[in-house]
Amino acid sequence: MSPLTITVRDADSGPVLRVIGDLDFDTAPRLREAVDEITLAPGELLVLDLGGLEFCDSSGISALITAHNRAAAAQAAMALAAVPDNITRVLGIVGLDQVFGRYEPEPPVGS
């Protein structure tokens, strides 16, 4: 088990939460709390950077859905970034790959 770390930063499009470690029954409430603590304005984009996520159980999936619903309630959007293959597979199995948007950063100019 890897401890869960959540860092928050502001981007031009809205808040970015970087989630590292295991998102499970014991740690999912921390993600819910982190999402509740941010301010989302209408039209903003909440990005959950899952590049460091190692494990996600059904409680973690529920926390992701809660974040999505929180964004929708604020008239904002939510997208997942850097989703590991194992998490992509789980999201596909439960049909959430059709619900959660994906954030793909723009390539640098001149690339």
pLDDT tens for the chain, 111 residues long, are 789 999 999 999 999 999 999 999 999 999 999 999 999 999 999 999 999 999 999 999 999 999 999 999 999 999 999 999 999 999 999 999 999 998 876 555 555
By C-alpha distance, which of 35, 5, 39 is closest to 23? 5
Show the domains of the chain with their CATH numbers: 5-102 (3.30.750.24)
* Inter-axis angle of helices 28-37 and 58-73, nearest 10: 10
pTM here is 0.91
Q: What pLDDT score was predicted for residue 104? A: 79
By the 8 A CB rule, do 2 and 21 touch?
A: yes
Q: What pLDDT score was predicted for residue 103? A: 86
User: Read out DSSP for 31-46?
Assistant: HHHHHHHS---TT-EE
3-state secondary structure at position 102: strand
**What is the tens place of the pLDDT at every residue in 55-85?**
999 999 999 999 999 999 999 999 999 999 9
Tokens of 51: 């590049």
By the 8 A CB rule, do 50 and 83 touch?
A: yes
